[in-house]
Amino acid sequence: MDLPLDQHLLYQDLTAKLDRLGGPDQLIAYMGQVLRTLLRRQGDAEFRGAIQDAFISGLMGRDWPGQVALAREVILIVIAKRPEIALAWQKQQGGDDNPHRRAADRGLAPPVVADPDLPDLDLIGATPPAPPRPKPPYAFGNAEDKVTEYVLETLARRLSLFRLPTLQFPSIAYVHEQEFFLFLPIFQRVAGEFIAEAIMPLCRDVLERRVYKGMSQQATTRPDMGLAERQGDIWAVINERLGKLAARLNGARSKLARPAEDGLPKYQEVEVPVDRPRVFRVLGVGFRMGTRTELKRVKVKVRSAKELDADEIAALNLYSQLRDRASEAGLDLPQACDFEFLAALFQVDGRRLAQTVKELMGLAEHKETTRIYLMERLRAIDETFANTLSDAIALLLFHGAVGGPFGFAELYETAIGTARDQSVRSIQRPFLSAELARRPRELAFQLREVMRKRLDEIRAATALKALFSVWNTLPRASFERDLDAALTVFRAFPIAFAGDDDEAALSAIGQQLCTILTAEKVEVEMATAAILRLYKPLAQAAPMTPGAFVV
């Protein structure tokens, strides 16, 4: 990577000091100072926020060498990209070029130093994706388009059931990063394009025999005929294809999860039947007549237990296409959003699903609904719907009816059920397990945002009690990594508030939170009061009508 001479010297100087740091606390303090110094201008605010979040999230779960390596990468990005960010901000503000600004900030090209040890950070020059090839003419194209439109309309109706009302802030259901994928409208577009461009072509041959030909023949004799008479065949073909893909994908996953085999390829001796001609000799005259079967011992290579067959590889590649499409749209899909989940969306009785969602949301939003009754109704849907759909409904209740009878304790009870083992739970409750794991980290970010905005003590107390209640619910033995990730957010307050006028006070609050949360059990009221005493001098005045802030 090429860097201007002054930037290269700055990078070498800042990263050389990393090797002399004594541990994570010193690293956090040092990086806070670096970010405060390098990103102190008005136009750096958005860039600084993105870097802070990325660095804090990256620290979670890394060992000490990994944290130092991440710090090197962050310093390089800040030094290399800050001039471009400054120039972009200046153009966005519509200001004239200031000749007194540094040449790098004005977009000029200073002398550079080529350093092969530095990675290339530029996205410019990356090969853009090739435009899609035009579809070849298809004899039954009109019928295929109608069927595809019908399938996508069905998908849109099912996904529209999972839409959230306006979320409160702060709340126990706060989301800092990405909401649950079903709650995001972009998933409908991603899934629709994947179905239309990847799944439907795989079903073409069977649909042609069972659906398309009949539709084309009847189009001239019965132009008013709809798809009602063909729906059974359409869904039978699509669900069968999705079921096969799901089985192959699961087979590939199970093989890849097996431990690696050590040593050289293994061979085994087997007896192979071999047909040989029968040879006769009569009076010295030889001739062949017929054949005979003999068993010949040969050595054959034993196939590895991790070796995938062609169908499994194809299923993996297709699944990768779905995830790549989502990634390009800025959507991170969970592993459980696969062919099996898509099949569950199509196989479910749509009217029954809609009725169930409406009924349960009504119960969850009603203050007089008892916890026992709501939990019984939730357990009943496990016998009706696939586990992924049951998870999605439970998440809809948790996020969409904050303050009702379905809170975090109920979400935890639903997720745990009879599966105390984490590996079993991740299979039985894939979406709920991920939601439980991210709650501590998300609520730590929420509390940081409350303090960054200097919200009043009422809302700060709401955020604190939400965090503490989750902390007391999740057992450390099962969620140690996730709880430690939340602690990392608080330890990194010197980075998050680098350059803030109240950096010292906020960093002290972060240290106090770490002390409280590392205790065996958090006393919610006492802990909340202790943090509020430190935060009170920084908070805004409480509003006259604080509104309903609920945990």
Read off the pLDDT of residues 180-212 as tens digits, 9 standing for 90 and up. Answer: 999 999 999 999 999 999 999 999 999 999 998
Give the phi and the psi of residue 392 in degrees, each rounded to 5: -65, -40
Is omega for the bond preceding 170 within 30 degrees of 0, making it cis?
yes
What would the mean pLDDT of 279-289 be, rounded to a whole number?
60
**CA–CA separation, 20 and 544 (whole Å):** 52
**Structure confidence by residue, pLDDT tens digits, 204-262:** 999 999 998 888 776 555 555 567 788 899 999 999 999 999 999 999 998 888 776 66
**pLDDT, position 548:** 47
**pLDDT, position 123:** 46
Percent of the chain predicted with pLDDT > 90: 47
Q: Where are the alpha helices (DSSP H) in 116-184?
A: 141-160
**CA–CA separation, 323 and 338 (whole Å):** 9
First CA to last CA across the chain, in angstroms? 49
Among 53, 36, 26, residue whose Cα is nearest residue 502: 36
Q: 343 pLDDT band (50/70/90 cuts)?
A: very high
Q: Is the confidence at residue 145, as pLDDT, over 50? A: yes
Q: 551 pLDDT band (50/70/90 cuts)?
A: very low
Q: Is the confidence at residue 410, as pLDDT, over 80? A: yes
**pLDDT, position 531:** 96
List the single range of 102-106, 145-149, 265-269 with lowest mean pLDDT.
102-106
**pLDDT, position 276:** 67
Among 389, 419, 486, 531, residue whose Cα is nearest residue 174: 486
Angle between helices 231-257 and 339-347 (to 10 degrees): 150
List the single range of 223-227, 465-469, 545-549 with lowest mean pLDDT.
545-549
Q: Where are the alpha helices (DSSP H) in 382-475?
A: 387-400, 408-416, 422-428, 430-452, 457-473
Specify the DSSP class assigned to residue 130: P
User: Residue 163 is which amino acid?
Assistant: R
**Structure confidence by residue, pLDDT tens digits, 98-141:** 555 555 555 555 565 565 556 555 544 445 556 666 667 888 88
What would the mean pLDDT of 547-551 be, rounded to a whole number?
47
What would the mean pLDDT of 298-327 be, rounded to a whole number?
84
**pLDDT, position 520:** 84
Are the beta carbons of 79 and 47 closer than 8 angstroms? Answer: no
34 burial (CB, 10 Å; 0-12 / 13-18 / 19+) is: buried
**Structure confidence by residue, pLDDT tens digits, 9-61:** 888 888 888 888 888 889 998 988 888 888 888 777 888 888 888 888 888 87
- Higher-pLDDT residue of 332 and 101 is 332
**CA–CA separation, 61 and 509 (whole Å):** 22
Q: 549 pLDDT band (50/70/90 cuts)?
A: very low
Q: 550 pLDDT band (50/70/90 cuts)?
A: very low
What would the mean pLDDT of 153-165 be, rounded to a whole number?
93
**CA–CA separation, 179 and 330 (whole Å):** 12
Among 189, 9, 191, residue whose Cα is nearest residue 111: 9
Among 37, 59, 61, 64, residue whose Cα is nearest residue 48: 37
**pLDDT, position 188:** 96
Name the token pair of 351: 């009217």
